[in-house]
């Protein structure tokens, strides 16, 4: 999460002066549990990738491999862990 600005640093009127700044908003910090991948169990079936509602499963399409998670945007819903046929994903509480 980027540092929250003080009121003195903000543009007047609650305006947003640059376009496309939603990309700087890391929704991943809403998460209470994080998915963890056990590469040894993973069969690269891509079920997690297909089911993830936040497009936060990172895969290598060329190699056809599951690579992990985009923790900046994963909200920890646990669907990936639930649909995994090999129990290769476990949900770990965030601290």
Partner 1 sequence: MARVLGLNGNAAAAQAMRQINPHVVAAYPITPQTDCVERFAEFVSEGLVDTEFVTVESEHSALSACIGAAVAGGRVITATSSQGLALMWEMLYIAASMRLPIVMMVVNRALSGNINIHCDHSDTMGARDAGWIQLFSENAQEVYDNMIQAVKVAEDMRVRLPVMVTQDGFIISHAVERVEMLEDEEVRIFVGSYKPLYPLLDVRNPVTYGPLDLFDYYFEHKRSEIEAVDNCLPVIEEVAEAFGKLSGRKYGLVEEYRLEDAEYAVVALGSTCGTAKEAIDSLRDRGRRVGLLKIRCFRPFPREAVVQALAPRKGIVVLDRSVTLGGFGGPVFTEVRSALYDLPVRPLVIDFYYGLGGRDIYVEDIEHAFARIEEVVRKGHVDQYIDYLGLRE
Restricted to residues 11-70, the positions that interact with partner 1 (CB under 8 A) are 12-17, 19
4 binds partner 1 (CB under 8 A): yes
CB of 42 to partner 1, least distance (A): 36
Count of residues that interact with partner 1, criterion CB under 8 A: 13
Cβ of residue 19: shortest distance to partner 1, in angstroms? 5
Distances (CA, A) of 12 to 24, 25, 27: 20, 20, 25
**CB closer to partner 1, 6 vs 87:** 6
Least Cβ distance, residue 6 to partner 1 (angstroms): 7
Site for partner 1 contains 3 (CB under 8 A): no
Angle at 87 between CA 84 and CA 90, to 5 degrees: 100
Q: Cα(13)–Cα(53) distance, rounded to whole angstroms? A: 34
Element (H, E) at 51: helix 47-51
């Amino acid at each position: 999460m980027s540092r929250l600005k003080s009121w003195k640093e903000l543009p007047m009127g609650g305006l947003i002066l640059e376009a496309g700044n939603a990309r700087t908003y890391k929704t991943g910090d809403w998460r209470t549990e994080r998915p963890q991948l056990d590469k040894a169990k993973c069969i690269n079936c891509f079920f997690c990738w297909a089911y993830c509602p936040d497009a936060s499963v990172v895969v290598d399409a060329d190699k056809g491999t599951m690579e992990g998670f985009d923790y900046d945007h994963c909200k920890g819903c646990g669907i990936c862990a639930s649909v995994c046929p090999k129990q290769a994903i476990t949900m770990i509480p965030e601290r």
